[in-house]
Amino acid sequence: MLLGAGSLGLVGGAGLFVSDRRILGTQTGVDPVSVETLDAPGSDAGTVSAPERGTTTFLEFFATWCGTCESMMEPLSQVHSTVSNDVQFISITNEPIGQSIARDDVIEWWREHGGNWTVGLDNDLQLTDAFEVVEIPTAIVLDERNDVAWSGAGRKSTETLVDRIESTHSEA
């Protein structure tokens, strides 16, 4: 599956290693994008602006076909329950809705895997391209200026994610 122009092709085993990168740390003042959100547990149908300027934002790029993404749902639920309610917390899929997967399939996957926070679609790959996401799952933490504070691909521990989000949020 190609994630964007010039991106790497991914296979079902993608994301089996951890890559704690600061490559994206050079991105500053990322412009917000309107993200379609789904009517799923913890998520209302509509749109959100992401990343939201003026607050800490956590983005997790995932795919329903990704085994590592599935195994990250419980840790992400724990992270979501732990961090401040004023942190923008969104999981985003860039799967081609209406082509290889239906919107209802994403909602059902979300429900079956315990998602309970905002879930969005990046159909036009605006966020995927803006953050040069080439691995699934990829997590990104942005500060209140929409500067990338941290990014990591693959499996991440609850502790690592909480630490990265809270350290960025406390600096806000």
pLDDT, residue 26, reads: 57
> How far is 15 from 66, CA to CA, in rounded Å?
8
Mean pLDDT of 3-31: 47
Instruction: Provide the b/e sequence for 5-19 (b: ≥16 CB within 10 Å).
Output: eebeebeeebbeeee
Q: Residue 11 above 60 pLDDT?
A: no
pLDDT, residue 28, reads: 79
pLDDT, residue 37, reads: 98
Q: Give how far the C-alpha of residue 158 lies from the chain's centroid of Cα atoms, to the nearest Å.
A: 15
* Amino acid identity, position 68: T
**Is residue 131 within 8 Å of 27, Cβ to Cβ?**
yes
* pLDDT tens track for 84-141: 899 999 999 999 999 999 999 999 999 999 999 999 999 999 999 999 999 999 999 9
Helix axes 67-82, 158-170, angle to 10 degrees: 50
Q: What is the dihedral of CA 160, 21, 118, 62, to 10 degrees?
A: -110
More confident residue, 17 or 126: 126
Q: Residue 171 above 90 pLDDT?
A: no
* pLDDT tens track for 22-78: 444 457 788 999 999 999 999 999 999 999 999 999 999 999 999 999 999 999 999
Q: Residue 21 above 70 pLDDT?
A: no
First to last CA, the chain: 36
Domain boundaries of the chain, sorted by first residue: 21-170
> How far is 160 from 56, CA to CA, in rounded Å?
16
pTM of the model: 0.84
CATH of domain 21-170: 3.40.30.10
> How far is 8 from 51, CA to CA, in rounded Å?
24
Q: How confident is the model at residue 2 (pLDDT cuts 50, 70, 90)?
A: very low
Backbone conformation region of residue 120, classed left if phi is above 0, alpha if psi is from -120 to 50, else beta: beta
